[in-house]
């Protein structure tokens, strides 16, 4: 197993400490982990955290990490998700050792179940799903024993074989572990091991009509693969006694399950069920909508695998649930793109500027620095002419005291160019400013005046005749509240959707961005980091703003 690139962070968290102890004590002689997604949706940033734990711990200890699909519920699972998950794991930079499916083990799991029946540790129960729930009891009340609990081994073996043979309708019978209906931990109250589901499975087709539950499948799959450390999120903590019970009763190799806190991100939901709802009900354009926390969404938004891995390394693993500020994720991307993204000029809300003393039809090339953080990135030539576009925001007819950019009579510097002075304002019949008349000072080429006079602002621009039309998609958080799930009884997280999460603007970019491949990053000077979207065509480039230049995280952390 290997990691294609990225930071090596030798942290010493509680999981690594436990792994080290297990090696030292001889409980295990090697480290084998697995990443076990259920193919019922696309991977999201929370899964990236789980992968960082599973794959990187295996790598650090010279072990292996399998990709195992937890495909035990045919109703929700699809091949489409299997393919997408494999692609996303690879995209993130992880390479699995073994590729397995829980469904590979259906026959073996069936035999394990038979073994438990023979030991008197499992029985076929005829309670309906509603009755099962009712008999289970609550946190404060013990459960009740099923009237079918004391069937003979022979009867159980016969009924279980007939369940498999398809003799009974869906929901009519289950196979349950015989543990303790009075257990404080509800998971131990005779949990269901098999249920009848009449649905085609994406891999086993109609070979089976009984399917193991997560609880019965997971630990046994881990055991079969010789997984030493079964690392999972905190919601499985209460399942651990059951995980251990099955392995003990089956007398098979017992991995160690260790739980860590799930990743929660502010202004985001990280549940496949909720993400599916956003997609199915059209609140976003798809699983890869750049506002989605899916790996596909993040990729389209402009996130790189290394930025996501860097984020996972920064957050680390902990035992207690917490919410990570989404600004921290943005920080990881900004940090990287600052070092790698070429700078270009683009104007997203254009205002026409005519330099009245610049010769009509003349073009000159101005030298611009590609990346001040990376001298090796060199320079490029940017065309300049009589008609330019600047940002509407960089001009005010009536500037307030602290506004230093362009205004009537005022002089500013054009980035890499000249000083210009606004001499006149052209308005439409509604009174909107539609064009500025300016003069330029030929002696200020390169950005300084021989007479030493100063200007207070430098603004970016694009030459109108050379400009490429671009569509820019500007994103804000998908939700207006830090915790979208913090809703009143009966309300939905959908109520927290941000109606302004996407703004589309039409602007112009300098010609150097022509022919940008999809996924190419730039810093549009003063506007943020952008990436070319798959919707781009040579005639019309489309850019997503990946992240703005303002670093809320570094500021909050006292670094900015
Ligand atoms: P969801 O609730 O979004 O459906 P899940 O836990 O059902 O997520 P799985 O496909 O079963 O999704 O998850 C595969 C692995 O990823 C599991 O080990 C799970 O613990 C882990 N995982 C899922 N979500 C997160 C998260 N937000 N943070 C950390 N690990 C996660
Ligand atoms: Mg799950």
Which residue, chain included where needed, has tokens 């009848």?
A: 196
The helix/strand/coil state of 97 is coil
pLDDT value for 559: 53
CA-to-CA distance for 255 and 246, rounded, in angstroms? Answer: 12
Which residue, chain included where needed, has tokens 């671009």?
A: 470
pLDDT value for 555: 66
The helix/strand/coil state of 177 is strand
For the chain, the straight-line distance linking the first and the last C-alpha, in angstroms and rounded, comes to 38
DSSP annotation string for 308-349: HHHHHHHH---SS-EEE-HHHHHHHHHHHHHHHPPEE-EESS
pLDDT tens by residue, the chain, 560 residues:
444 444 444 568 999 999 999 999 999 999 999 999 999 999 999 999 999 999 999 999 999 999 999 999 999 999 999 999 999 999 999 999 999 999 999 999 999 999 999 999 999 999 999 999 999 999 999 999 999 999 999 999 999 999 999 999 999 999 999 999 999 999 999 999 999 999 999 999 999 999 999 999 999 999 999 999 999 999 999 999 999 999 999 999 999 999 999 999 999 999 999 999 999 999 999 999 999 999 999 999 999 999 999 999 999 999 988 899 999 999 999 999 999 999 999 999 999 999 999 999 999 999 999 999 999 999 999 999 999 999 999 999 999 999 999 999 999 999 999 999 999 999 999 999 999 999 999 999 989 999 999 999 999 999 999 999 999 999 999 999 999 998 888 889 999 999 999 999 999 999 999 999 999 999 999 999 999 999 999 889 999 999 999 877 666 665 54
Given the candidates 3.20.20.370, 3.40.50.12780, 3.40.50.620, 3.40.1280.10, the CATH classification of the domain at 14-260 is 3.40.50.620
Q: Which atom of ligand 1 is nearest to the CA of 40?
A: 10
Domains 346-465 and 468-560 share a fold: yes
- 71 Cα to the center of ligand 2, angstroms: 10
Any ligand 1 atom below 6 A from CB of 49: yes
* All residues with CB under 5 Å from ion ligand 2: 38
Q: Which atom of ligand 1 is nearest to the CA of 273?
A: 4
Determine the topology of domain 468-560 in CATH.
Answer: Ribosomal Protein L25; Chain P (2.40.240)
- 36 Cα to the center of ligand 2, angstroms: 8
Residue of 45, 499, 34, 39 lying closest to 271 (CA atoms): 45
Any ligand 1 atom below 6 A from CB of 270: yes
Mutate to test the pocket of ligand 1, among 39, 41, 47 (most ligand atoms within 8 A of CB): 47
Q: Where are the domains of the chain?
A: 14-260, 346-465, 468-560
Which class for 558: exposed (0-12), middle (13-18), buried (19 or more C-beta within 10 A)?
exposed
Mutate to test the pocket of ligand 1, among 13, 92, 233 (most ligand atoms within 8 A of CB): 233
CA-to-CA distance for 245 and 233, rounded, in angstroms? Answer: 19
pLDDT value for 553: 67
Task: List the catalytic residues.
Answer: 38, 262, 272
Any ligand 1 atom below 6 A from CB of 50: yes
Which pTM was predicted? Answer: 0.94
Residue of 379, 383, 325, 390 lying closest to 353 (CA atoms): 390
Residue 389: CA count within 13 A, CB half-sphere: 21
Given the candidates 3.40.109.10, 2.102.10.10, 3.40.50.2300, 2.40.240.10, the CATH classification of the domain at 346-465 is 2.40.240.10
Judge contact between 5 and 31, C-beta under 8 A. no
């Amino acid at each position: 197993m290997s990691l294609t690139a990225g930071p090596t962070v030798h942290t010493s968290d509680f999981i690594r400490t436990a792994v080290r102890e297990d090696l030292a004590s001889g409980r295990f002689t090697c480290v084998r982990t697995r990443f076990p997604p259920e193919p019922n949706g696309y991977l999201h940033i929370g899964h990236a955290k789980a992968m960082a734990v599973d794959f990187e711990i295996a790598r650090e200890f010279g072990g292996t990490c399998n990709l195992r699909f937890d495909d035990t519920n045919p109703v929700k699972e699809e091949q489409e998700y299997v393919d997408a998950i494999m692609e996303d794991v690879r995209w993130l930079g992880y390479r699995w050792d073994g590729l397995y499916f829980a469904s590979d083990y259906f026959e073996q799991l069936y035999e394990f179940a038979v073994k438990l029946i023979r030991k008197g540790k499992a029985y076929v129960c005829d309670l309906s799903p509603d009755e099962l729930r009712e008999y289970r009891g609550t946190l404060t009340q013990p459960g009740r024993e099923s009237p079918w609990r004391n069937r003979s081994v022979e009867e159980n073996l016969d009924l279980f074989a007939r369940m498999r043979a398809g003799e009974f309708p869906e929901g009519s019978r289950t196979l349950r572990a015989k543990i303790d209906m009075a257990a404080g931990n509800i998971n131990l109250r005779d949990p269901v091991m098999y249920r009848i589901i009449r649905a085609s499975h994406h891999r086993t087709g109609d070979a089976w009509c009984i399917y193991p539950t997560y609880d019965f499948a997971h630990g046994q799959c881990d055991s079969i693969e010789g997984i030493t450390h079964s690392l999972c999120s905190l919601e499985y903590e209460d399942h651990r006694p059951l995980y251990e019970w099955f392995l003990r009763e089956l007398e098979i190799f017992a991995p160690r399950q260790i739980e860590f806190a799930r990743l929660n991100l502010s202004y985001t939901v990280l549940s496949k069920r909720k993400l599916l709802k956003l997609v199915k009900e059209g609140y976003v354009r798809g699983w890869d909508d750049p506002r989605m926390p899916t790996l596909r969404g993040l990729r389209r938004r402009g996130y790189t695998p290394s930025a996501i891995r860097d984020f996972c390394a920064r957050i680390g693993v902990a035992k207690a649930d917490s919410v990570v500020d989404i600004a921290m994720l943005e920080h990881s991307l900004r940090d990287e793109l600052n070092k790698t993204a070429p700078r270009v000029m683009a104007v997203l809300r254009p205002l026409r500027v005519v330099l009245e003393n610049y010769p009509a039809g003349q073009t000159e090339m101005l030298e611009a620095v590609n990346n001040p953080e990376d001298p090796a990135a060199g320079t490029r030539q940017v065309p300049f002419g009589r008609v330019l576009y600047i940002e509407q925001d960089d001009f005010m007819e009536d500037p307030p005291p602290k506004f230093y950019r362009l205004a009537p009579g005022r002089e500013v510097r054009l980035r890499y160019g000249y000083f210009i002075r606004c001499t006149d304002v052209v308005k439409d019949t509604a009174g909107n400013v539609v064009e500025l008349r300016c003069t330029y000072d030929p002696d200020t080429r390169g950005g300084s005046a021989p007479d030493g006079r100063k200007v207070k602002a430098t603004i970016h621009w694009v030459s109108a005749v050379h400009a490429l039309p671009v569509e820019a998609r500007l994103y804000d958080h998908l939700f207006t509240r830090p915790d979208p799930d913090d809703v009143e009884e009966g309300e939905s997280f959908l109520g927290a959707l941000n109606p302004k999460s996407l703004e589309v603007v039409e602007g112009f970019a300098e010609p150097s961005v022509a022919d940008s491949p999809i996924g190419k990053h730039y810093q549009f000077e003063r506007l943020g980091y952008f990436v070319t979207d798959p919707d781009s065509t040579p005639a019309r480039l489309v850019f997503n703003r990946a992240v703005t230049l303002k670093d809320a995280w570094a500021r909050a952390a006292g670094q900015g």
